[in-house]
Structure 1
């Protein structure tokens, strides 16, 4: 559902709409006509204001949660406000200093990311969240070890000495030479490369019949690649701080929504999927409530910006998650500044790798 374009709202309707949204963001509660009538910038009677509020509600921009209550913005209304009315303010000197102080505290990259998420949570009244760079080690060796007639262990040895393994199930009994052939095949093609860099080429080689592998060895290779790729995709690594900020006074009126939001954060994978959608963005992305399937049940919002390494490649995403009444005008530039600061430190190699 989309609302009317901003150009269709007259000055009076735009001013009242802006005040309702700003009031809701500030207090988390619906805004009534009497409150608006007491605002110095609105020279209208409560009856006239109610008429405008009804028009905005009919347009899908506002909603009345209760019969005699005031209005609050819908997700469509919040999108119109964010895209067309909101005036973004740069982070204050104190806010910038708090973010930079945390990032400059030294230590490992994990410590810096924790500091970044903590600073964002404290400044935004939401939960600060940072997607940790996906660890994609460059590989040195791949081998297969038989566990039973139709089960094998895939062992990956990284150039840095790290070892990880996964169990795979096979459709056919393992042949004596297949394990060694599959291991040699993968080692030759993956050595010095990450799994992501090598996988597509290996799959194309096997599918095109150019691998010289028998069917059993090819099955081992395909299943090994599949289990590693799936495992990497299902292991979102997030640093989240400030969940307690979501339990403010306004949460008492909507405790079920907050419970759902906390469940989503605890689950990590759902939020990681939302953050992942911001990886290719050139600027800050804002996801509001029902616009995103994963956020619709909790009525929450995510503000996220990618951060990059020295070569300009996206390595992670930093953001804030909270109710849809996040103070977008303040939080958007904070998230953007944090992403820029992380990128700068990564570019300067300002982190310990321990």
Structure 2
């Protein structure tokens, strides 16, 4: 719904004042801060219209009004003026955290950077890693117990214990490893599974069974080898009265951090949309809390989107400052990972 200009100006002034001090905003205050030459009666009428449309609400204990999630959404989408970040906001100092070389350390530092700059919680989804292997080895530990060793293109090693129905000889293990390495190195385990299915008829039955087991186990091992997301600064949210004053909301918030499922789905969804995304209150259904908002942005490695990062904070956050922090951190992380 398109608001007339006076209503837009009053809503913008109300949201900005409420974000700044957290107190319901009355008509008298709005007449001073809005810059509009309107009578108190006219302001009250406009605010009553905004309340009827669901953009503001009146707490029972106050004559003033506060923005609703719908009001925040309109503010963010059409009324917000995003700040330009410079060294005064600590970005120059924080970007040095991303100069290290180890990818997982860069991810952790990016989460800490988001948390430090906003004083809320920072979250970074680890890069989605395709389960590509560079080399496979089988080590016979004992009868029907084999250690599968997987080396990925970065040189990282994953191990998996295989319990087999057949007692394979060392020669069979070497033959199987050589076949996989010579024919499938550099492919994902899903690609190997598809190609191997058509070739099993040409292989000895026992060795074919071992290779199928290895592909399934290798895919699981690679998936488990990377942490799904890194969260930093959850404790900052305990200092936010909007979130910590309600024990039920507090419990719900930390269940979200512990389970991570809804948060992961939200980050996955954000990466497909591209650019900075803002989820206010419970509108996403994945973070069902009216008191909480999530600001996200995807990041890339060598031009390909591989994950999402973001800030989790109260609905009453300074969006004009948080949005550019999330945006610039995504760009810095993309550059750091692409050059690491």
TM-score, length of structure 1 as denominator length:
0.75
Contact 1:139 1:159 in 2 (8 A): yes
Equivalences for residues 17-36 of structure 1 within 5 A:
17-36=11-30
CA distance in 1, matches of 2:285, 2:222: 24
**1:75 corresponding residue in structure 2:** 69
Q: Deviations over 1:191-232 (max 9, x none)?
A: 2x2xxx42332343356x454265955763564366347646
1:296 aligns with 2:288: yes
- Which of 97, 101, 113 aligns to 1:102? It is 97
Contact 1:143 1:184 in 2 (8 A): no
**1:345 corresponding residue in structure 2:** 336
Contact 2:106 2:336 in 1 (8 A): no
CA distance in 2, matches of 1:148, 1:51: 83
Q: 1:238 to 1:19 in 2, by over 3 A?
A: same
Instruction: Name structure 2 gaps, 5 residues minimum.
Output: none
CA distance in 1, matches of 2:15, 2:295: 17
- Which of 191, 194, 213 aligns to 1:201? It is 191
Q: 1:190 to 1:39 in 2, by over 3 A?
A: same
SS at match of 2:73: helix
1:321 aligns with 2:312: yes
SS at match of 1:290: coil
SS at match of 1:293: coil
Contact 2:140 2:146 in 1 (8 A): yes
- Which of 285, 297, 300 aligns to 1:308? It is 300
Contact 1:147 1:153 in 2 (8 A): no
CA distance in 2, matches of 1:16, 1:326: 19
**2:135 corresponding residue in structure 1:** 140
CA distance in 1, matches of 2:96, 2:151: 37
RMSD: 3.7
**CA offset at residue 297 of structure 1?**
3.3
CA distance in 2, matches of 1:52, 1:289: 24
Q: Deviations over 1:10-57 (max 9, x none)?
A: 112111211222223223343333432443524344443333223222
Q: 1:161 to 1:222 in 2, by over 3 A?
A: closer
Contact 1:260 1:298 in 2 (8 A): no
**CA offset at residue 115 of structure 1?**
3.8
Q: 1:168 to 1:35 in 2, by over 3 A?
A: farther
CA distance in 2, matches of 1:49, 1:222: 68
Instruction: Name structure 1 gaps, 5 residues minimum.
Output: none
Equivalences for residues 103-142 of structure 1 within 5 A:
103-104=98-99, 106=100, 108-134=102-128, 138-141=133-136
Q: 1:86 to 1:342 in 2, by over 3 A?
A: same
Contact 2:158 2:225 in 1 (8 A): no
Q: 1:146 to 1:168 in 2, by over 3 A?
A: same
**1:224 corresponding residue in structure 2:** 217
Number of residue-to-residue matches in the alignment: 331
